[in-house]
Structures are given as structure tokens and as C-alpha cells.
Amino acid sequence: MKTALIASLLVATSFTASAMYGDNYHEAYQETASGPGKTRAEVIAELQVAIAAGQINLSDSEMRQAERMNTANTRSNLTRQQVQQEVIALRQQGLLNIQGDH
């Protein structure tokens, strides 16, 4: 009996909540025309200016992710063999900590 009562209350509550929320969800997120879009480079440049000006506070993880994205977009002039030699040298110096079975 209690299970049926609780289940019916949960269903009634979810219907009430969805009815109260209703179409406001769609109205709040309607897209508006903003003119011609910006390139990825323009957006990144604006973000870097805003961060430098202190207008945007990013967490450490967000900063690391942004740095990874920036370095991922740059091309390296090193060959695969040069990178492997660099990794070996760093590991021998104790500057590279690789975890797992590598």
C-alpha cells in the first residue's frame, strides 16, 4: 500500500513539475540572429584577452584543458625518433613520470 502511494505521489509530482516548467524552457533558449559568425581563432584570441584582463576566472583544470587545446593545434618540427629520444632522456633524468604499463 505504501509503495503504491509513494509511486503515485512521485508520478503526480513529476507531472506537476513538468507542467509548471512548461514552455518556459523553450522560450528561454530561443536563438537569435547575431550576424556573421566569428572564426575559431577570433574566439580564442578574445578569450585570451579576457583572461589576461582578469575578466574571466578559469579553474586549474580549465586552464590545463585550454593549454592542451592550444598545444594540440600547433605543429611540431620534430620527427618521431627525436620525440622518442627526448622521452628517453627525460625519463633517465627523472623528469618524466609515466604511470601504467608503458
pLDDT in tens, 2-53: 787 787 777 777 766 665 555 555 555 566 656 678 888 888 888 888 888 8
**Residue 98 DSSP symbol:** -
The answer to whether 86 and 78 are in contact (CB under 8 A) is yes
Taking all residues of the chain, what is their mean pLDDT, rounded to a whole number?
76
- In the prediction, which pLDDT does 37 show? 82
The answer to whether 70 and 64 are in contact (CB under 8 A) is no
What's the rounded Cα separation, in Å, for the pair 49 and 56? 9
Instruction: Map out the domains of the chain as residue ranges.
Output: 38-75
pLDDT tier, 81 (very low <50, low <70, confident <90, very high otherwise): very high
